[in-house]
Structure 1
């Protein structure tokens, strides 16, 4: 059976159709907080239970507890703040107070209602230091924190409208993946997080894990990324061809996670595991330097942090160093292959990107030619 949702119950904050028209009419008279597309996606994630047990943006006690202990105030594991930042000037201009109900608006359209439970200040430097282990503005996550507005607004949300989703055909909500996994007869499901087009190293990790479970849930992050990352549509098309040509039918499912990468390393690894647990995964693949960027985290720090969460409710599957071995004629890892030196070719995402940027096909021991062909069919496969 799929894993139980985090906290025991799958959150649903989507307004029923019979109430929707009435609430949309009422929203016309409410104060309106304009939110970004990225924040609007997070509202949807809350509403559909992707972030269960959260029912809205964090209030002060949960926010502080997550920073200090990596747990919610009720002691449930949670490592990344899910917060709504608003400027004090905007709050005063709109005369928003605790206890009010406000409309969350994207591009002029009401997306959700929010009950303002708490308005509070926060320390950006502390936020960055706790979550990212650095205050270096070269870190993309830190940079975003320091660009946040000066107040956080916490409270439950109710979703009235969904924002535009260019990847609707790849979108499944947790309630849908859980039904699908049951229909496929999967009792054990391993989740795979990615922000890259697949190379052979990824395929090796996925298929190794798939040896021990019933199904594989490939769940790419689709949303704002840093310069040089693969574009969303490239990732999806590359995985489509890989699954079609190299995976057994009914053993792998591809669906997206709409959010942005935070590059928080170990904390984000736990967060990613919790999200996949909400989709129904019983296991989660954690590779080397999961969700890392630059050299801010130790190579296996994102694996070591799982020791602090024996009550996580999803089983991590760790992969250490793996590579292509010329003598073994395939992908292996350091636990089974005796060869070293020139005999091994580590999968280098950087090298693969460089070759693709030059319009070249990476060697077959690095990437499937069908995958490379799909990537090279795009004029601009990488984020500018």
Structure 2
């Protein structure tokens, strides 16, 4: 049984799109007959968590190219220690299947099931008990369980990690209709820059100003487009639900009707890993056809509830992303620190300070209070369509 990859590197070069990470866009989905043959070999069934299902989907469709399955122990060790896999290609975070099952053994086949749907079959080539404190320290910069990813690997993931090839049977059903990298690439303009904007919350005016102004950055081509690519997997506990977020994006796309914006959704679960997360996002967006990545101050950062201190410095993710971008053949676009002023609308904060402009602010807490009480939300802060969705929710 062999896995397939879309060997269209030269075709993609002719079409003017950036080549996927590693040169080939991986597609691990098998035919119905191949799936039937594999099913006859299955030894165990594992129910996927929400995070597992995101990983399985991105493996299947090539979002994690060049991976052809869950990392084996050697690749896992290398990613933890050096953010690279055995081929020496960059990779941000480990991609592993986890279990507490003692009876699963190397050489066996596992059916991966999610919410009643058979997603994939995995051949177990590697099984080990990971050094989770070392993984936490190297990947997330801390062993504190206050960090959401450290808490996840210590309390959600099982005792053992499994590595091996994955054979895709079916994609999960999601509220967010997630286009594959191949589908997104088919909709992108050829021989033009594609700027990726990552988010996990509803988009407000400042965000829109940010990613549309990125089209005019010095290192972006004149006819570039933005791919707004929100994550739709598990995020933080206090984030707005996926169904509501999806509605805000759809309504906003219809409201602005901007021909230089492309919209798609990413089945990825956030780790809030700062610099490592920035690298992971860049690799994924490269596989979806993006040449540039907007990276904000303290991207994918989080704070200690006890001390209130950030786990990462404000520019750690930006600096790390800039250092690895040339190897990825991508470019970063720093996120502008925009503020709204009475005199000029949205401007960079330094300009507002230099010219003594009057800055208007509205905190998230105040915004939520105004939503609940039915007060009018200023249009400089939020789009009317987004406000209506949030208010109805």
State the 4+ residue runs in structure 1 displaced beyond 6 angstroms: none
TM-superposed deviation, 1:191: 0.8
User: Which of 371, 377, 386 in structure 2 is aligned with 1:356?
Assistant: 371
CA distance in 2, matches of 1:31, 1:119: 15
Contact 1:303 1:318 (C-alpha < 8 Å) held by counterparts: yes
CA-to-partner distance for each residue in 1:174-196, whole Å, 9 max, x for gaps?
Answer: 011111114xx562111110001
Aligned residue in 2 for 1:200: 205
Classify the secondary structure of the residue corresponding to 2:231: strand
2:135 is the alignment partner of 1:133: no
Pick closer, same or farther for the CA change 1:355–1:132 going to 2, 3 Å: farther
Pick closer, same or farther for the CA change 1:198–1:151 going to 2, 3 Å: same
Contact 1:102 1:116 (C-alpha < 8 Å) held by counterparts: yes
Q: What TM-score results when the alignment is normalised by the length of structure 1?
A: 0.88
Classify the secondary structure of the residue corresponding to 1:363: coil
User: Which of 342, 347, 367 in structure 2 is aligned with 1:326?
Assistant: 342
Matches within 5 A, 1:186-265: 187-211=192-216, 212-213=220-221, 214-249=224-259, 251-265=260-274
Contact 1:2 1:189 (C-alpha < 8 Å) held by counterparts: no
Contact 1:99 1:116 (C-alpha < 8 Å) held by counterparts: yes
Aligned residue in 1 for 2:71: 58
Classify the secondary structure of the residue corresponding to 1:149: coil
2:327 is the alignment partner of 1:311: yes
Aligned residue in 2 for 1:79: 92
Aligned residue in 1 for 2:359: 344
CA distance in 2, matches of 1:151, 1:125: 14
Contact 2:129 2:161 (C-alpha < 8 Å) held by counterparts: yes
Matches within 5 A, 1:46-195: 46-87=59-100, 90-92=101-103, 96-107=104-115, 109-147=117-155, 148-168=157-177, 171-182=178-189, 185=190, 187-195=192-200
Residue segments in structure 1 that go unaligned for 5+ positions in a row:
379-384
TM-superposed deviation, 1:222: 0.5
CA-to-partner distance for each residue in 1:252-298, whole Å, 9 max, x for gaps?
Answer: 12111012111111211111111111000111111112111222111
Aligned residue in 1 for 2:307: none
CA-to-partner distance for each residue in 1:159-215, whole Å, 9 max, x for gaps?
Answer: 1122222333xx210011111114xx5621111100010111101111111234421
Contact 2:79 2:91 (C-alpha < 8 Å) held by counterparts: yes
CA distance in 2, matches of 1:72, 1:6: 12
Aligned residue in 2 for 1:14: 29
Contact 2:175 2:243 (C-alpha < 8 Å) held by counterparts: no
Supply the RMSD in Å over aligned alpha carbons: 2.2
Pick closer, same or farther for the CA change 1:13–1:216 going to 2, 3 Å: same
Contact 1:59 1:117 (C-alpha < 8 Å) held by counterparts: yes
Q: What TM-score results when the alignment is normalised by the length of structure 2?
A: 0.86
Aligned residue in 1 for 2:9: none
Classify the secondary structure of the residue corresponding to 1:6: coil
Classify the secondary structure of the residue corresponding to 2:201: coil
Aligned residue in 2 for 1:276: 285
2:56 is the alignment partner of 1:43: yes
Q: How many residues in Structure 1 have an aligned counterpart in Structure 2?
A: 365
Classify the secondary structure of the residue corresponding to 2:75: helix
Classify the secondary structure of the residue corresponding to 1:263: coil
Contact 1:128 1:135 (C-alpha < 8 Å) held by counterparts: yes
Pick closer, same or farther for the CA change 1:68–1:40 going to 2, 3 Å: same
CA distance in 1, matches of 2:144, 2:374: 34
Classify the secondary structure of the residue corresponding to 1:194: coil
Aligned residue in 2 for 1:368: 383
TM-superposed deviation, 1:103: 1.9
